[in-house]
Amino acid sequence: MSIQAVILLPLMFSIMFLGMQGALYYHARSVAIAASQEGVRVSASEQPGNGPAAAADFVSAAGGEDVLRGVRITSDRSATSVTVTVSGSSMSVFPGWDPQVTQSASVPVERLTR
Span 25-59, pLDDT tens digits: 999 999 999 999 999 999 888 677 788 999 999 99
Instruction: Find out whether 20 and 1 touch, Cβ atoms under 8 Å.
Output: no
Residue 102 lies in a domain: yes
Residue 29 lies in a domain: yes
Structural domain including 60 reads 2-108
Q: Which residues of 13-23 are buried (b: 16+ CB within 10 A; e: fewer)?
A: eeeeeeeebee
Instruction: Find out whether 90 and 25 touch, Cβ atoms under 8 Å.
Output: yes
Q: Which of 107, 90, 86 is nearest to 99 (CA)?
A: 90
* pLDDT surpasses 80 at 111: no
Residue 67 lies in a domain: yes
Residue 114 lies in a domain: no
Residue 27 lies in a domain: yes
- The C-alpha atoms of residue 22 and residue 16 are separated, in whole angstroms, by 10
Q: Residues 87-101: what's their mean pLDDT?
A: 91
Residue 90 lies in a domain: yes
Taking the CA atoms of residue 13, residue 14, residue 18 and residue 19 in that order, the dihedral angle to the nearest 10 degrees is: -40
Residue 113 lies in a domain: no
pTM: 0.84
Domain count, the chain: 1
Residue 43 lies in a domain: yes
